[in-house]
Amino acid sequence: MLNYNFEIVFNNHLRYGGQRTTTSVRVPDTGPPTRKGSVMGNPVVHFEITGTDPQRLRHYYGELFGWKFDTSGPVSPAVSEPGNYGFTDGNTASDGTGIPGGVGGGTDFEGHAIFYVGVPDVEAALRQAESLGGTRRLGPEQNPGTNLVIGHFTDPEGHLIGLAATA
């Protein structure tokens, strides 16, 4: 298992170290596990829901779960219409659980729900996914004005999975 020490910031930029923003996730280099039991290798770092009417979806999930959204951050045009992707306002609940996410898309975007796994190299992970029977769907793609690199693949049963890394 590899240990990582990088921070993925989905609505502003990527950086090593520094202050944690409201839409960032830190994947720490924790060294050997200190508790008994299984340890996840590469962590889930972001979720995303897209559809043809992102404003309606944001309203729906905002009402359903109490989520608030910030649509001012940059997003890859392969993921959503610019200005139409809302990052969740805050990473976690008051008890510290949860991950950041976003809701976006637009009239020409197919609806889907996806989670992103933090990896050191999106291209290498996409190649590995393909070698294991998956199918590359997107990427690597860099978000404009950021060091965030993403990719999508489907697993052998067709489930859409995302990958995220720093450039």
Q: So where are the chain's domains?
A: 43-166
Residue type at position 121: D
Give CA–CA dist 105/111, Å, rounded: 8
**Identity (one letter) of the amino acid at 107?**
T
Angstrom distance (rounded) from CA 134 to CA 124: 13
pLDDT of 62-112, one tens digit each? 998 889 999 999 999 999 999 999 999 776 677 777 889 999 999 999 999
CATH of 43-166 given 3.10.180.10, 3.40.630.30, 1.10.150.110, 3.30.70.1560: 3.10.180.10
pLDDT, tens digit, for every residue of 2-58?
333 344 555 433 322 333 333 344 443 434 445 566 777 899 999 999 999 999 999
Residue the block writes with tokens 């008890």: 95
Q: Given the DSSP bridges, would you call strands 101-105 and 44-51 parallel, antiparallel or unpaired?
A: parallel
Compute the Cα dihedral for 5, 99, 67, 56 and give only its sign: positive
Q: Are 89 and 69 in contact (CB under 8 A)?
A: yes
Single out the residue of 63, 71, 56 nearest to residue 23, CA to CA: 71
For the entire predicted model, the pTM comes to 0.75
